[in-house]
Amino acid sequence: MNRTILVVDDDRSCRLSLVRLLQAVRYDVLSASSAAEALQVAAQARPGVVVMDLQLSDGNGLDVVRALKERPALAHMRFLALSGTLNVGDEGTLFHDVLSKPCRASDLIDAIESALHA
């Protein structure tokens, strides 16, 4: 099981808080602050789960997920959406789970564990 988690959020304080939380639970954690960086890090590191903010400064998190899902070498990845608006509509099927921002730590960890075992 690949316990590497990629956290993608352009809000520095939110991203760092999530990274610290997940490291404390003993996940291997990577982070990205933009859509472009997320694509690059995911392609190189091939994380098991991507925790994705949907509104990024340089693009839409949905576009990042679509692009990653198109790559056969990354088909194993599961995606969790973090959204302040929870407006994913029909695109919700791209995600293993959708969590509202801010979310409880226990809800995030439960969602990650569920995604890892899916």
Which pLDDT score, from 0 to 100, does residue 103 have? 86
Which residue, among 18, 13, 52, has the nearest Cα to 35 in the 3D structure?
52
pLDDT above 80 for 84: no
Domains along the sequence of the chain with CATH = 4-116 (3.40.50.2300)
Q: How does pLDDT run across 88-101, given as a tens digit for each residue?
A: 555 567 888 888 88
Q: How does pLDDT run across 22-72, given as a tens digit for each residue?
A: 999 999 999 999 999 999 999 999 999 999 998 899 988 889 999 999 998
Burial of 91 by CB count in 10 Å (0-12 exposed, 13-18 middle, 19+ buried)?
Answer: middle
Copy the structure tokens of residue 102.
């801010």
